[in-house]
Amino acid sequence: MLDNLQGAKIHKKSIKYEDFKAQLLTDPEVRKEYEALEPQFRLIRDILLRRSQLNLSQMELAKLVGTQQPAMSRLERGDGNITINTLRRIADALDADLDISLKPRPPTKAASTQT
């Protein structure tokens, strides 16, 4: 298939990530899913940032946590479920505080019209 493209001129239009993200988030279903995943991704970003600040590899962090490197890789990719106990061990290994909270959701239009 690539052989067929060798002589062809391919025009690629690039788009900035933020513009692409903004475009996707105009879809209400995509926005809802994005917002539902945001706390998980925020936590992953925090773990990655702190690990970077401490100049730790996944392997080094895994040893401190008492797990193996593939488990840290899965966590940083957002694969699988992680326990609160594991999050505590990660926070301790990263010399960080873990803040987990439960907050009521703002009322939705559907919920407010049902009362």
Burial of 22 from C-beta contacts in 10 A (0-12 / 13-18 / 19+): exposed
The answer to the question of residue 109 being in a domain is no
- On whether residue 103 sits in a domain, the answer given is no
pLDDT value, residue 4: 45
Is position 87 within any domain? yes
Check residue 89 and give its pLDDT: 97
In this predicted structure, the answer to whether residue 29 has a pLDDT above a threshold of 80 is yes
Predicted local distance difference test score (pLDDT) of residue 12:
66
**pLDDT-above-90 percentage for the chain:** 50
Q: How far apart are CA 26 and CA 55, in angstroms?
A: 38
In angstroms, the CA 52 to CA 59 distance is 13
Domain region containing 57: 21-96
Number of domains present in the structure of the chain: 1
Read off the pLDDT of each residue in 50-79 and give the average, rounded to a whole number. Answer: 96
In a domain, 57, yes or no: yes
Please report, for the domain that includes residue 32, its CATH number.
1.10.260.40
Angle at 52 between CA 21 and CA 58, to 5 degrees: 100
- Whether residue 4 lies inside any domain: the answer is no
Is the residue at 46 inside a domain? yes
pLDDT of residue 8 exceeding 50, the answer is no
